[in-house]
Amino acid sequence: MQTRRTFLATLTAALAAPAFAETKKLGIRLGFDNFAVRAMGWKAAQLLDYAAQLKCDTLFISDMESYESLEDTALREVRKKADDLGIGLYTGGWSICPTSVRFRKTWGTAEEHLRLGIRVAKTLGSPVYRVVLGAMEDRQTEGGIRARIADTVKVLKACRGAALDAGVKIAVENHAGDMHSWELRGLVEEAGKDFVGVNIDSGNAAWTLEDPQDVLEILGPYTICSSLRDNMIWETPDGASIAWTAAGEGLMDWKKYSARWLELCPKVPIMIETIGGFSKNFPYKKEGFWKDYDKRPEALAHFEALAKRGHAIPGFKAEGPDKKKAEQDFQKGELERSLKYLRDIIGLGVRV
């Protein structure tokens, strides 16, 4: 029979023990893409302060407009601040496909833009410069997505020497439904894996009617950067609707995803780019939809399995006397919930 002394000792030990076992750390660095908090209008220095506040390991500044200046002297100050805070910098820009519907001449020609981005990345100490091809509308342009891929590969190859000399790899994103995962894999292999890789986006993965887990299987070996978020997907009469959510609030199995990440691209940080508040319907059951997409029955079946598990969720509309603040609070809330979930439940992040 248990004595009073041993009973009290057992009770004391039980009360002192944590209610839940501590989450095992996976050793994957955790950070965010600044587009997640775009409503703040912050420049690089403010973004770094916020990243430090959130105890992030990395910060992905995915647009050129977030720097006060692109002069090397100014960029070196940003790099020094990041180094002082112990935050790894990743950087990026926009479309380098000169024939894309999303191409802008802000930084000159596509080749001029890419060469500028390589210089910026080198000066900041970023291992990559993220670019995009375009968007799903490019699938409907003359020659279709294959023609746009060919135009992008041409620009990449023209800048191969500059990238190799700088020690910077070009990370091409699966962006806004422009390329299926297998199409992006083909682009990387055609351009050259020695200097081109992938910026993987789990939200955009759903916009090509693919399961983000399948996309990781295909693109994980090529992944050198990331912009991730969760997805809620549900059936509609003509197809399915997709809403992007904070991590842990959608259909993704983050434990499974992170475990595979460790096997495929363990040195790449997981960086969160929440873009919530709306949904988009994809009428893939209508005649004619697939003329612009590559229909692969097995991939579609996995996507449809997600849709059967999902449910419609409400959107977000900034209301009240200060709509700007409401939008800012919404964006910060989505990002901060994501980071907390991934750190506390999944075990991401290496900073104490």
3 vs 23: CA distance, rounded Å: 34
Q: pLDDT tens digits for 74-129? A: 999 999 999 999 999 999 999 999 999 999 999 999 999 999 999 999 999 999 99
40 vs 33: CA distance, rounded Å: 13
* Confidence at residue 4, expressed as pLDDT on a 0 to 100 scale: 35
Q: Could you give the number of structural domains in the chain? A: 1
Tell me what percent of the residues of the chain surpass a pLDDT of 70: 94
**Identity of residue 332:** K
64 vs 35: CA distance, rounded Å: 12
Residue 235 confidence (pLDDT) above 50? yes
228 vs 211: CA distance, rounded Å: 13
Mean of per-residue pLDDT scores for the chain? 94
Regarding pTM above 0.95, the answer is no
Residue 344 confidence (pLDDT) above 70? yes
Report strand pairing: 270-272 vs 30-33.
parallel
Note whether residue 16 is domain-resident. no
- CATH number of the domain enclosing 318: 3.20.20.150
Select the more confidently predicted residue: 320 or 170. 170
Note whether residue 260 is domain-resident. yes
Note whether residue 11 is domain-resident. no
Tell me what percent of the residues of the chain surpass a pLDDT of 90: 91
Which residue range is the domain that position 324 belongs to? 25-346
Note whether residue 1 is domain-resident. no
Residue 16 confidence (pLDDT) above 70? no
Note whether residue 20 is domain-resident. no
